[in-house]
Amino acid sequence: MSRRDLAHVMTALWNLSGAAPDVAVDVAAIDDAIGRGRNDMRTPLNLESLAQDGLVKAVGDGRWVLTAQGVAWIVEDRELSDR
């Protein structure tokens, strides 16, 4: 996943979860939030690379959560972007 795509997915999870860890979000909602519709022909969104980095985790039924580490990553990324 590119850095730009990573930022979009993480921002979508941040917004959809209310910036809280362990709040389940449907992958379909993430797709919608990043501009991928139901008939999108691109490959399905794969969050496994984010899970391997400890930023998100699957909770079943196509739902994912930000981890505490994922929330901290977003906070740090935003702080660095403000400089």
User: How many whole angstroms separate alpha carbon 25 and alpha carbon 27?
Assistant: 6
CATH of domain 3-81: 1.10.10.10
Domain boundaries, the chain: 3-81
Tell me: the pLDDT tens digits for 23-79? 999 988 998 898 876 666 566 677 888 999 999 999 999 899 999 999 999 999 889
Reported residue count of the chain is 83
Could you tell me where the DSSP H helices lie in the chain? 3-16, 27-33, 48-52, 68-81
Q: What is the pTM of this model?
A: 0.83
- Say if residue 20's pLDDT is above 60: yes
Rg (CA), the chain: 12
